[in-house]
Structure 1
Amino acid sequence: MAIQPIGTVVVSTQASSPSTLTPAGTYNGGYKNAQTVRLRIGNGGAGQAGLVGELADAFIRWWCVQGPGSKSPHEAPFLVEWYLGDTTQSLSYLSTGWVDIALTYNEAAEMTLIRKGSAVERQLVFFDHFYIVGPPSNPAGLCPEDSVLDISGKIVVSGNQDILIPPDSTVRPPTRFLTRFDKSATNIKENELFIAIGQVPWALPPALWYHIYPRFPAQALHAASVLQEYTLTDRGMWLSGEKGVRDGLKVYKGKLNLGANNSTLDDHSESDDTVLLNPCSALLGASARDKQLATQFMQWLIAPDGGQKVIKEFVKNGEQLFQPRFPGV
């Protein structure tokens, strides 16, 4: 079966180079007369899941009805553009002024831009959660009681064994792990998990069970489903994915119920839920075109009746995808 790239509202499965950068989505808040782009946002998975569009539309409506735009007869509705990029790409777009806001998932990389002066403000916006998923046939023999590191170890051991002695394809697929290998927050997290058990399967020559597939989250999840491979994804991408994709995979580790025990948001232990927590922060670029509006967007994102309400109410397939930064919102 051929792997066909899929997406939510994406134009392309690859990020554009700066010279050809085009938005993956443009939002008008329902105002068909909106013409001027006043805000540009860089993000990957949450954009593909649809959250960036929901936030953009809600912010435009708030600005025009309740915010500064409602107080001036000269203020017109405007457009917000979303540029598809993983964490590393989105931060690069921010530092070069190609986007005004970056929604990203790596504190160390974000603080580098703050210290450099390329970003002037950083706010925690919401929590996503990583999921380890794989084929229902479970060729690596993962168990519910396995820790995250146990799972990583079993995938390595089984993958190596299947290279030496290939399994009967009529019984089960070989153990393989699909990596986006793209400097995304997901790629960084999976690297951390492998390094924690003393493994670097990407080192030359890469392990034969380590499938390098540099695409965005939706496309990577689709490929893992078709090829029956383990992979690391996130809750937002999982729940917003097509049913056929999810039917071909099973969640082996990850927080399934956001309503159960939210203590991990303030937990500094090394529990599996904490290890797989995926916080998203918004960074305001020093070169933002419309600094006043971009700054207002940053404030609106963390307002309980603003962005936080949108995040809490964002549902796909009957499930809340993300946790607001404040659990009680």
Structure 2
Amino acid sequence: MNQEAIVQIPDGLYAGSGVLTKNSALAPKAIYDGGYDGKDILVRIANGGAGQSGLIGAWADGFIKHCVEFHKFAPFRIGWYLGDTTESLGLLAAGSVDIAVTYNKAAESQSVSSGAAVQRVYGFRDHFLLVGPKSNPAQLDAQKDDILVMFNKIVSSGNADVASPPDDRHPTRFLSRYDKSATNIKESELFITIGQVPWALTYSKWYHQYPLFPLQALEAASALSEYTLTDRGTWLSSPTDITEKLTIFKAGSDDADDPLLNPAHVLLGSRVNASNAAMSKLFMKWVAMKTEGQKVVSEFKKFGEVLYSEAPDTE
């Protein structure tokens, strides 16, 4: 791998992933070339789930093709750097990447307010899913219960199973990403909304802290028969031997007021590498175009199903 592809990690940013030393570096998880023979990486994008599902790669290849065929630019490459929302925004603030695709409005607004990001556009709509074992030990009712009732049932059943462990079934447990990701922030928000803080000392024994990325977390929840919050992109990107053991109890919609809507925004950093500035700015414009970046979103499928919804016409 070319040395210029390696970027610096701000001290402590990836501590949850086991990177604790100073002056640590991060290699791109993947490099895309659009099918051409480009050499230089002219856009560096940080993201978690959409990178794992393949959308970042589809965007990258589509953008490179657009630039080569429409603008007649020389071929180039795009690097994807794996990071959750907190990590991606940290890389952006440090100038280690040019663009971050993230999922938390409050964190994104702070990035813009602080000057770390200079532009924010709506990229696509993902959707959170509450999933769990088919045995459904918390007795969630997918037809009648709203998401807060479901979280209350998980808390009540989890506490009861800790006090009196069941002999004939798996106990009720909830797998938390526990990693400062947008999913972790959302699940925490839902627990706090019902007046529960299961991660506080002494943390609830049914609350399983599992600070890994989306695909790995869903695989663990499936293997351990635990409830968890995931997203549609991760669900549809996972092998059937993982998802067939789980049930979707509640799924988010495109309604802006739906607590399980998971909007993704694309942020341009203020410390973009000088050689990448023009291409990164063009990517921001391209990704919002209905006939370009948004068309890629609407046509991106896994196992025959579209993973994400296009960005709405207005915020």
Answer yes or no: same fold by TM over 0.5.
Answer: yes
**1:114-129 equivalence runs, <5 A:** 114-129=112-127
1:213 aligns with 2:217: no
Among 306, 310, 319, the alignment partner of 2:296 is: 310
Q: Which residue of 2 aligns with 1:281?
A: 265
Query: Aligned letter for 2:101?
Result: L
The separation in 1 between residues aligned to 2:160 and 2:17, in whole angstroms, is: 34
Q: Which residue of 2 aligns with 1:271?
A: none
The separation in 2 between residues aligned to 1:76 and 1:306, in whole angstroms, is: 19
The separation in 2 between residues aligned to 1:203 and 1:176, in whole angstroms, is: 16
The separation in 1 between residues aligned to 2:18 and 2:205, in whole angstroms, is: 27
Query: Measured at CA, do residues 239 and 135 of structure 1 come closer, stay the same or move farther in structure 2, by a change above 3 Å?
Result: same
Q: Which residue of 2 aligns with 1:229?
A: 226
Give the C-alpha shift of residue 76 in structure 1: 2.1
Look up the SS of the partner of 1:200 in the other structure. coil
Query: Measured at CA, do residues 15 and 243 of structure 1 come closer, stay the same or move farther in structure 2, by a change above 3 Å?
Result: farther
Among 281, 292, 305, the alignment partner of 1:295 is: 281
Q: Which residue of 2 aligns with 1:167?
A: 166
Give the C-alpha shift of residue 326 in structure 1: 3.3
Q: Which residue of 2 aligns with 1:183?
A: 180
Q: Which residue of 2 aligns with 1:111?
A: 109
Query: Aligned letter for 1:59?
Result: F
Structure 1 residues not aligned, in runs of 5+: 1-12, 269-273
Among 41, 47, 50, the alignment partner of 1:46 is: 50
1:36 aligns with 2:71: no
Look up the SS of the partner of 1:83 in the other structure. strand
Q: Which residue of 1 aligns with 2:154?
A: 155
TM-score by length of 1: 0.87
Query: Aligned letter for 2:277?
Result: K
The separation in 2 between residues aligned to 1:326 and 1:130, in whole angstroms, is: 17
Deviations 1:5-35 (A, max 9, x none): xxxxxxxx9486762211111100001x211
1:253 aligns with 2:237: no
Identity of aligned residues (%): 51
Query: Aligned letter for 2:261?
Result: L
Give the C-alpha shift of residue 248 in structure 1: 1.2
RMSD: 1.6
Query: Aligned letter for 2:293?
Result: G
Give the C-alpha shift of residue 291 in structure 1: 1.2
Q: Which residue of 2 aligns with 1:197?
A: 194
Structure 2 residues not aligned, in runs of 5+: 1-15
Look up the SS of the partner of 2:27 in the other structure. coil
Among 58, 62, 67, the alignment partner of 2:62 is: 58
The separation in 2 between residues aligned to 1:250 and 1:132, in whole angstroms, is: 9
Give the C-alpha shift of residue 327 in structure 1: 7.0
- Kept after mapping to 2: 8 A contact 1:118/1:285: yes
- Kept after mapping to 2: 8 A contact 1:45/1:217: yes
The separation in 2 between residues aligned to 1:327 and 1:236, in whole angstroms, is: 21
Look up the SS of the partner of 2:24 in the other structure. helix
Deviations 1:27-78 (A, max 9, x none): 00001x21111100000001101100000011000000013xx1xxxx4211
TM-score by length of 2: 0.90
- Kept after mapping to 2: 8 A contact 1:16/1:22: no
Once superposed, which parts of structure 1, at least 4 consecutive aligned residues long, lie more than 3 Å away? 13-18
Query: Measured at CA, do residues 327 and 244 of structure 1 come closer, stay the same or move farther in structure 2, by a change above 3 Å?
Result: farther
